[in-house]
Structure 1
Amino acid sequence: MITLEEAKAHCRIEHDAEDSLVQSLISAAFRQIENRTGQAFDHVADAEMVLDSLPSGDSGIELKWTPVRAVKGVVYLDPLGVEQTLSGADLLLDVRGVYPMLYPAQEWPESKRDRASVKVTADIGYETVPADVRAAALLIIGHLYENREAVVIGTIATELPLGVDLLLAPYVIHRMG
């Protein structure tokens, strides 16, 4: 992530009066980047994904994040409604596709088919945010800091040819359907 000090230096802010605003702009910039690219750049140690049941046999579960550093475990309800746990050692993570797939080391156990009866916990995000993504975030932060309204009247603006879209293009996951 980008620190408050880095964002303030980029925006040439020399006071502390707007620290909470700048911090919120940092968060907003990364949410925008994550929404645009389909990737998780912020490191989250215990991200959770909820399912209604485990697949059968040795079918995989497509995880909703990319990148996934490690799957910590799966907690599920067995057919009798008793909570069971599969540790990371019981699971195989295939990161070759756009979204990682999670497979059982053997076969998935039988689970109860009920709303939110399965919870996958994973360590996601980049260890270090790539330099071009950091640059895009700083451009977004600077833009949001300087333009605090949805409409600016009386100015002529041009998009930077080497702006946010170009910096983020290698990270965008194109979705079908």
Structure 2
Amino acid sequence: MSLIDIDRAMRHVLAEPEDQDLVQDKLDAAEGAAMRYLNRRVFIDQAEMVSAKAGIPQMMQAAREANSAAVAAAHLVDEHRDRCILLEHARQALEDAWEEVDAVAYGILLNPEIVSACLLIVGHLYANREDVVVGALATELPLASMHLLTPYRARMGV
């Protein structure tokens, strides 16, 4: 379920009613992209955020158990190269699980800046549905959505 109401997104991109499924796809992609950029989950209300954060210990336990099972299964493989590949997959799956735990732990409530950034991304995705521009001068525009999201970004790294 989207954080932002589909009707609001439809009005933002000035879409026709028959384009609602397309706009919904773009809205889902925009919200996902914003959360990946933020390295945080965005929640619509405090109760949802508290509930998600309460589930962190279970997420961590499930990640450990899945990793243990994957490592044990890898050690049953005789071929050294195959075993190493499976162990690397297990390591990567555990790392992905920890990133999801962190994203929930650093969760943030939906705010006007995040809404605006997502709508800007929806507008871009809706207006530019192809990878290339034919018959027009292409000009790169500054991504205002990133300027809106950056102050809320967690764990930006080096």
TM-score by length of 1: 0.54
CA distance in 1, matches of 2:111, 2:6: 18
1:169 aligned residue (147, 150, 154): 150
- Alignment-derived partner of residue 156 in structure 1: 138
| Higher strand residue share | 1
* Amino acid in the other structure paired with 2:116: A
- CA RMSD across the alignment: 2.8
- Alignment-derived partner of residue 14 in structure 2: 12
For structure 1, the residue ranges without an aligned partner over 5 or more in a row are 54-60, 69-98, 100-123
Runs of 4 or more, structure 1, over 6 Å off, are none
Shift of 1:176: 3.9
TM-score by length of 2: 0.59
- Alignment-derived partner of residue 92 in structure 1: none
- Alignment-derived partner of residue 63 in structure 2: 51
Which structure has more relative contact order (CA 8 Å, sep 6+)? It is: 2
* Conserved? CA contact 1:30–1:42, under 8 Å: no
* Conserved? CA contact 1:132–1:167, under 8 Å: yes
- Alignment-derived partner of residue 64 in structure 1: 101
1:131 aligned residue (112, 115, 125): 112
For structure 2, the residue ranges without an aligned partner over 5 or more in a row are 66-97
| Higher helix residue share | 2
